[in-house]
Amino acid sequence: MTEQNMPCPCGRSPGKRLLAYRDCCGRYLEDFEQTPAPDAESLMRSRYSAFTLGRADYLRATWDPAHRPATLDFEQGLKWLGLSIRAARTIDPDHAEVEFVARSRLDGRGIRLHERSRFVRRDGRWFYVDGEMLG
């Protein structure tokens, strides 16, 4: 059971105040059938939070079925350190891109994932399509 009052793993901090999980990505992770993320950046953030929480169900539910992997493996011992959104771009009402850097640590080694992700909206829901590695 996820602690609802903890700071949200995605680090969203409007006005420099860190949002609680239940006021941020928790709204979507805990009720994704009824409460889908309203935009591509929110979906991106909630998927990062889902990775940190090991929530394969959420990751699968928000992955474009045509691109969804058959199985999802979480790296044992990987510790997520933070997410930073670099850019969010709307292409048209149903397509968007989000560029981000996600930092993690594995066996004492820092890992930096810099990706531009593509998202599509179908029937009012955003889905992750795929991503392009940058730098």
Nearest CA among 41, 43, 40 for reference residue 32: 43
Q: Which stretch binds Zn ion (CB under 5 A): 39-47, 56-64, 82-90, 125-133?
A: 39-47
Q: Which lies closer to Zn ion via its Cβ, residue 28 or residue 127?
A: 28
Q: How far apart are CA 21 and CA 41, in angstroms?
A: 16
Asked if residue 25 binds Zn ion (CB under 5 A), the reply is yes
Cite the DSSP H helix spans in 39-132: 40-53, 56-61
Among 32, 41, 45, 97, binds Zn ion (CB under 5 A): 45
Strand-pairing partners, residue 127, are 120
Q: How far, CA to CA in Å, does 65 sit from each of 2, 21, 70, 120, 131?
A: 26, 27, 10, 11, 15
Asked if residue 43 binds Zn ion (CB under 5 A), the reply is no
Among 8, 40, 59, 83, binds Zn ion (CB under 5 A): 8
The distance of closest approach from Cβ of residue 19 to Zn ion in the complex, given in angstroms and rounded to an integer, is 6
Q: What mask, x for binding Zn ion by CB under 5 A, covers residues 111 to 130? A: --------------------
Asked if residue 37 binds Zn ion (CB under 5 A), the reply is no
Map residue 26 onto helix, strand or coil: helix
Asked if residue 102 binds Zn ion (CB under 5 A), the reply is no
Nearest CA among 132, 85, 96, 134 for reference residue 114: 134
The distance of closest approach from Cβ of residue 108 to Zn ion in the complex, given in angstroms and rounded to an integer, is 27
Q: Which lies closer to Zn ion via its Cβ, residue 86 or residue 91?
A: 86
Neighbours of 12 (CB within 10 A): 20
Q: Which positions touch Zn ion (CB under 5 A)?
A: 8, 10, 12, 24-25, 45
